[in-house]
Amino acid sequence: MTDTDATLVVDGGELSTLLSTLERIRRTFAWKCGGLDADGLRATIAASTMTLGGLLKHLAYVEAAWFAVKLRGEPIGPPWDTAEPGSEWSTAAGDSPAELYALWDAAVVRSRAMVAAALAEGDAGQPGSFTWPDGRTPNLRRIIADTIEEYARHTGHADLLREAVDGLVGEDAPA
């Protein structure tokens, strides 16, 4: 899985802080999901049907939805363009670990390119390419913050799932 050598910015400006935080949470999420076989990616705990494989596939979808569609106004792309809404959670069990890791990696690479393209055109205040039903249009800053929030919530789920699979615990991926 993709792992950048991103150093957490602790004294930078707004945009560098947001982007380094996003990279840190992506790296932590990748570590929590990394190196598992199909059984590990399909494991559940308690009454939940959530799996690490489902989380990988869901966050690949989130990357495409927020950065391609909502930021850049581009098509969501495969496999989402033909998928039923929300199906990533249930279909992940039929995907191999290699497919799931590749899907998430490609989504992150695409999102980074989308953000770079947007920043070549403007700053973090530039509007996205969609409007919520209440008439507001989020800017790049809000899109990055919402993506961080989505990763943070699901990395918490991944913490619990991964500990149940093989006992892996910790806050940050090893350097």
The CA distance from 62 to 152, in Å, is 13
Mean pLDDT, 10 residues at a time, over the chain (175 residues)?
58 91 96 97 94 98 97 96 95 97 98 97 95 96 97 96 94 83
Please state whether the predicted TM-score (pTM) of the whole model is above 0.85: yes
Which position has the token pair 């615990």? 169
Written as one letter, the residue type at 2 is T
Which position has the token pair 């598992």? 36
* DSSP notation for 16-30: HHHHHHHHHHHHHHH
Which position has the token pair 């800017």? 139
Written as one letter, the residue type at 36 is L
Cβ atoms of residues 150 and 62 within 8 Å: yes
Cβ atoms of residues 170 and 44 within 8 Å: no
- Taking only the tens place, the pLDDT of each residue in 51-92 is 999 999 999 999 999 999 999 999 999 999 999 999 999 999
